[in-house]
Amino acid sequence: MTVYMFPSITPSSSTFELVTNTRTFKSPLTNSVQTIARKGSLWKVSMRFNNLSGNDRAIMQGFLAKLNGQQHRMYLQDHAAVKRGIAPSSPADTLIVSSAGQTGSTLNASGATASQTGYLKAGDYIAFNNELHMVTDDCNSTGSNTVAIPIAPPIRKPTVNSQGIDYLQPIYGVFMLAGATSWDTQPGIISNFTVEAVEDVLA
């Protein structure tokens, strides 16, 4: 398996969805509801590329063929993502995981610029350990260059100490095709593509 970078072609429209791995149990006696959250929540994306022709059409065809269905993976971003936090872009902070074995919905990190209000903000993306996460609440860095980042989905694989955290746009996750791919072609050799993919939880 190889992970390829998705072509630098902007979709005409895209849908990003967080598919949560939760189960709900309802009591037949009292109608009370209990919800259990389990590991394995992932991102799902659907992208539509309209009226591709020439080089863009050929590049997209070749890329989808190269993936060979679900044999290979691809790095994908949310094309609608907008960086909101004030974490610096140039020169960038060396943001790293601050301890091994972290799980749950908060990532503790170090290497942030000290004492920054709104270091990362709700809606920002971060990526580490081949996992793509969204920041769920604004967070501030401390005077000791650390930051506790609330994220969704929860961490899938226990963290590795000092592993790098990507917070700069564009931020990529590792995805695989969700099914067969096809494109329709109109006169003038103009094609429309729909690409559906899901995050690879084992990447």
Kindly give the confidence (pLDDT) of every residue in the chain, 203 residues in length, as a single tens digit, with 9 standing for 90 and above: 999 999 999 999 999 999 987 767 777 777 777 776 667 789 999 999 999 999 999 999 999 999 999 999 999 999 999 999 999 999 999 999 999 999 999 999 999 999 999 999 999 999 999 999 999 999 999 999 999 999 999 999 999 999 999 999 999 999 999 988 889 999 999 999 999 999 999 88
In sequence order, the 6+-apart residues with CB closer than 8 A to the CB of 147 are: 95, 108, 109, 110, 112, 119, 120, 139, 140, 141
59: DSSP letter = H
Q: Which CATH number characterizes residue 115's domain?
A: 2.40.30.290
Other C-beta atoms within 10 Å of 67: how many?
Answer: 19
pTM of the entire predicted model: 0.89
The total of structural domains in the chain comes to 2
Query: Is there a single domain that holds both residue 106 and residue 157?
Result: yes
**C-alpha span between 94 and 86 (Å, rounded):** 14
Is the distance from CB of 17 to CB of 44 less than 8 angstroms? yes
Domain ranges, residue 163: 82-169
Is the distance from CB of 122 to CB of 59 less than 8 angstroms? no
pLDDT of residue 30: 77
Query: Is there a single domain that holds both residue 126 and residue 161?
Result: yes
* Residue 121 in tokens: 């903000």
Q: Is the dihedral of CA 166, 133, 156, 73 positive or negative?
A: negative
Query: Is there a single domain that holds both residue 143 and residue 183?
Result: no
**C-alpha angle with apex 1: 58 to 14, nearest 5 degrees?**
50
Query: Is there a single domain that holds both residue 92 and residue 151?
Result: yes
Query: Is there a single domain that holds both residue 184 and residue 157?
Result: no
Query: Is there a single domain that holds both residue 99 and residue 40?
Result: no
Query: Is there a single domain that holds both residue 158 and residue 110?
Result: yes
Query: Is there a single domain that holds both residue 195 and residue 183?
Result: yes
pLDDT of residue 193: 96
Closest CA to 109 of 136, 149, 140: 149
Query: Is there a single domain that holds both residue 126 and residue 52?
Result: no
Query: Is there a single domain that holds both residue 97 and residue 56?
Result: no
Query: Is there a single domain that holds both residue 157 and residue 96?
Result: yes
Query: Is there a single domain that holds both residue 13 and residue 73?
Result: yes
